């Protein structure tokens, strides 16, 4: 009877590629998450159709300390109101986590070369840290020690 054990039903395995429940049809999309520092303060620009957007660049570094390589990612944001104002007040050097929709576009340069570009449109943003400023460092040095936690 020991040989019949191999014929018993195996537990149902979950399908690794099964989609979670959704009431919407599948859509082809690409997303990217980038964690990096603002290269400069975000700026407002107008599209050719006159629509305003905020654009900014994030820098990410990788590799050993003595041979760091930096990659630059240009991001566009179409947020309005307080979210736009918040983004415009972020200083250069702010560490951000950006979730963005990604797409590739191809175009011809002025000298006739065909090239492609990665386009990132911000969907969400999280400030991970703000850069230290001279003013905040100076005020921290001038504040007296409260003595809490010191012997």
Q: What is the pLDDT along the chain (151 residues), one digit of tens a residue?
A: 555 555 555 555 555 555 555 566 666 679 999 999 999 999 999 999 999 999 999 999 999 999 999 999 999 999 999 999 999 999 999 999 999 999 999 999 999 999 999 999 999 999 999 998 755 554 444 444 434 343 3
DSSP state for residue 143 in the 8-state scheme: S
Domains of the chain: 29-131 (2.40.50.140)
User: Which pLDDT does position 140 carry in this prediction?
Assistant: 47
Longest dimension (CA), the chain: 84
List all residues 6 or more positions away from 24 whose beta carbon is below 8 Å from its beta carbon: none
Pair of tokens at residue 53: 């957007």
User: Is residue 38 within 8 Å of residue 57, measured between CB atoms?
Assistant: yes
CA 114-116-122 angle, 5° bins: 155
User: Which pLDDT does position 36 carry in this prediction?
Assistant: 97
> Rounded to 5, what percent of the chain is helix, strand, coil?
15, 40, 40
Partners of 37 in the β-ladder: 59, 95
User: Which pLDDT does position 133 carry in this prediction?
Assistant: 74
List all residues 6 or more positions away from 32 whose beta carbon is below 8 Å from its beta carbon: 73, 99, 100, 102, 120
């Amino acid at each position: 009877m020991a040989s019949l054990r191999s014929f018993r039903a195996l537990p149902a395995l979950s399908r690794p590629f099964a989609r979670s429940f959704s009431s919407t049809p599948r859509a082809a999309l690409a997303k990217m998450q980038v964690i990096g520092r603002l290269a400069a303060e975000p700026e407002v620009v107008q599209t050719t159709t006159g629509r305003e957007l905020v654009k900014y660049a994030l820098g990410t570094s990788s590799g050993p300390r003595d041979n760091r390589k930096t990659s630059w990612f240009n991001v566009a944001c179409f947020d309005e109101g307080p979210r736009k104002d918040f983004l415009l007040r972020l200083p250069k050097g702010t560490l951000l986590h950006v979730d963005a929709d990604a797409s590739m576009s191809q175009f011809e340069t002025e000298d006739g070369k065909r090239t492609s570009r990665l386009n990132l449109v911000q969907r969400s943003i999280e400030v991970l840290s703000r850069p230290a400023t001279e003013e905040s460092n100076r005020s921290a040095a001038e504040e007296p020690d409260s003595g809490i936690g010191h012997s």
